[in-house]
Amino acid sequence: MLSSIAPAFFAIVTVAGLFILVPVVSIYMLAEAEVIKRYFLGMLPERSRGRTIDVLVAIDDTVGGFVRGQIIVALFVAILATMMLLLLRVPYAIIIGIAAGVFDVVPYLGAFAGAIPGVVSAWFANGFQDAIYVVVGFVIINQLEGHLIAPRVVGSSVGIRPLAIIFALLIGGELWGLPGLIVAVPIAGIIKVALDAVRPSEELTNAEVQPGLAQAPREQMDEQATTTAATTPSEAS
């Protein structure tokens, strides 16, 4: 009996300690941010400090953009879920809609965690048919969020393409599970910033990327053909 209770007790204590420790450490880090930055930059050669500051600012913008994008997506899910539940007359619609937006921060699993309270509440209050309607409503909302809203909003905030976000989530989930899904997108943004700092990317034209498939405009081709036809007799003579 004691052997089964002890792990659960230690898990609860660990989670509670994290909820207390993380805000406290964050407050102290914010208060000492300037001191930490000066100390870190003082360890670098003077010629590298300007570029390092630029990279750190870019990383800060990337992570901040990710947080802002996640908040926008969560608000989108919360508003749509609340409206859907209110239309179906589900009890506690506002509370369940807000919870759906909060849980949506966790990719994939957040969609189920946010939908379960709404489905259960609709089933007990209005019957099985309304519960099915709630399931369909949450499926539509999460499809819009996962394939349309989140990749565009978060991708534009972080500065990476929607396809790259999908691959980042797949890799993060495969390597580290649930924590990997949460940190995959900001890590991908940080990697992009680091790569751009080492070697900035260049914008290439279609002709440079696919020279065999690129075609010149018709007007340019006609002009080249006329010029060639006009110069051929003189060259022959």
When divided into structural domains, the chain yields a total of 1
Terminal Cα-to-Cα distance of the chain (whole angstroms): 107
**pLDDT for position 6:** 62
Task: Write the DSSP symbol of residue 122.
Answer: H
Question: What pLDDT, in 10s, does the model give residues 40-49?
Answer: 778 878 787 7
Tell me which residue of 163, 111, 103 sits closest to 137, measured CA to CA.
Answer: 111
Flag whether 18 is in a domain: no
Whose tokens are 């909003």? That residue is 153
Question: What pLDDT, in 10s, does the model give residues 130-171?
Answer: 889 999 999 999 888 877 787 778 777 777 777 777 788 788
Radius of gyration of the chain measured on its C-alpha atoms:
27
**pLDDT for position 82:** 92
H/E element, 59: helix 46-87
Flag whether 160 is in a domain: yes
Average pLDDT rounded to a whole number, residues 4-18:
64
Grade residue 85 by pLDDT with cuts at 50, 70 and 90: very high
Average pLDDT rounded to a whole number, residues 8-16:
65
Most confident option among 25-39, 104-118, 136-150: 136-150
Longest dimension (CA), the chain: 107
Residue 6 structure tokens:
């002890």
Q: Count CB neighbours of 110 within 10 A.
A: 21
The residue segments making up the domain with residue 156 are 49-199
Question: What pLDDT, in 10s, does the model give residues 178-220?
Answer: 777 778 888 888 888 888 777 765 655 555 555 554 445 555 5
Flag whether 34 is in a domain: no
Average pLDDT rounded to a whole number, residues 73-95:
90
**DSSP code per residue over 150-214:** HHHHHHHHHTS-HHHHHHHHHHHHHHHHHHHHHHHHHHHHHHHHHHHHHS------HHHH-TTT-
Flag whether 38 is in a domain: no
Flag whether 3 is in a domain: no
For the chain, give the mean pLDDT.
Answer: 76
Flag whether 13 is in a domain: no
**pLDDT for position 79:** 92
Flag whether 156 is in a domain: yes
Q: Distance (Å, rounded) from C-alpha 160 to C-alpha 195?
A: 12
Average pLDDT rounded to a whole number, residues 60-88:
87
Most confident option among 106-115, 168-177, 208-217: 168-177
Q: Distance (Å, rounded) from C-alpha 235 to C-alpha 224?
A: 16
Grade residue 8 by pLDDT with cuts at 50, 70 and 90: low
**pLDDT for position 146:** 75
Flag whether 67 is in a domain: yes
- The phi and psi torsions of 90 (rounded to 5 degrees) equal -85, 135
Over pLDDT 70: what percentage of the chain? 74
In this structure, of 69-73, 92-96, 97-101, 199-203, the range with the lowest mean pLDDT score is 199-203
